[in-house]
Amino acid sequence: MTTRALTNPAADARTAGRTAPAHDPVTARRLLRFAFAALAWLAAGGVTYIWPDIPDAAGHRLTDDLAAVQVALGLLLLAVAPLYGRLGAAGRWFYRNAPRLAVLAILLTVWQIASSKTGYWRQAYLPGPQGIVEVYFKEHGRLLDSIRSSLILLATGVSVGVSVGFLTGLTTGWSRKVGYWTRPVLRFIGPVPATAIIPIALFLFPSSFTAGVFLVALATWFSVAVLTWSGVESVKSEYYDVARTQGASTLFLLLRIAVPASLPHVFVGLFMGLGSALTVLVAAEMVGVKSGLGYFLDWSQSWGAYGHLIAGLFVMALLFSLLTTILFKIRDKVLVGQKGDIEW
């Protein structure tokens, strides 16, 4: 005798629905996001390669190379799209930045058309992207030397400014006797822009480098000192009372309570101080230090080399953005225990 298994048509339909591939709107949006960015770069490469440059276009020898890079980026985005889930952090980075990459491709295309392709923007003042790339090939040695000089001056000045500013703010907020003398100085001298005393600093110090270090340190010192002072004074007195009942010394109160509790304010001061230091750094290099990226910009302008000027600005923006990102990373590591209490 043979038996036939009973089947439930409704259950079979549900099982089939689970195993059959279904249209996933999330996946479709993800692919569309990558496709748009890829098409933007492929179109940018096509414009660069097919549309001829005007005769006096700067960097015309690199036009084909630039087109190849643009097409390669477009193909890379197409290749990343189906592998998004397997690439981990790299895939998430491409997905998150795909719209930005698309806008960048569009802006580069507009820049190309207005400068190298039509000459609407005069080449002497605003060359196309390939003209800027050519500057990096020709002046990479000078640019690297300028970056080195700027970093040495910035690191020295910021180190001095942060150290003195932190000690000033810490003692001002902790001791009324010290604050009696330091608060008027902070209120009177601190708000004066460091760029306003560049001529005086160049006269008082024996070299332009030491004058630059002083100016960068001064710009950093004020922000760090004021925010550290504010952080120390904002610590609740209950913390000190509890520690004293456990027999804590004054040094313990200062180093284990006042300093850690004020660190969020200190990092705000560091961010503000770094921004002021970068402004002073460029101004000092353009006026008196005669080295670094600021001097490179001033030299480019004096010779009418506006392509060099724009190339230097791009390097400066990239370098200073990297420094700010590093400071963010340091803050996240140091204040990891306070991340839930502070709006990141």
For residue 294, pLDDT beyond 60: yes
d(CA 344, CA 339): 7
Assign 3-state DSSP to the chain and report helix, strand, coil percentages, each to 5.
Answer: 80, 0, 20
Locate the domains of the chain by residue range. Answer: 25-125, 140-335
Q: What angle do CA 258, 167, 191 make, to 5 degrees?
A: 110
pLDDT attached to residue 24? 57
d(CA 105, CA 74): 10
What is the arithmetic mean of pLDDT over 64-90? 89
Other residues' Cβ atoms within 10 Å of the Cβ of residue 320: 18
pLDDT attached to residue 338? 63
Q: What are the backbone angles phi and psi of residue 20, rounded to the nearest 5°?
A: -75, 140
pLDDT attached to residue 238? 83
What is the arithmetic mean of pLDDT over 248-268? 87
pLDDT attached to residue 49? 93
C-alpha distances (whole Å) from 130 to each of 180, 218, 297 are 59, 40, 19
Q: Is-contact 57 131, C-beta < 8 A?
A: yes
Among 73-87, 92-106, 238-252, the range with the most confident prediction by mean pLDDT is 92-106
The larger pLDDT score, comparing residue 237 to residue 25, is at 237
Percent of the residues in the chain that have a pLDDT greater than 70, as a whole number: 90
CATH number of 140-335: 1.10.3720.10
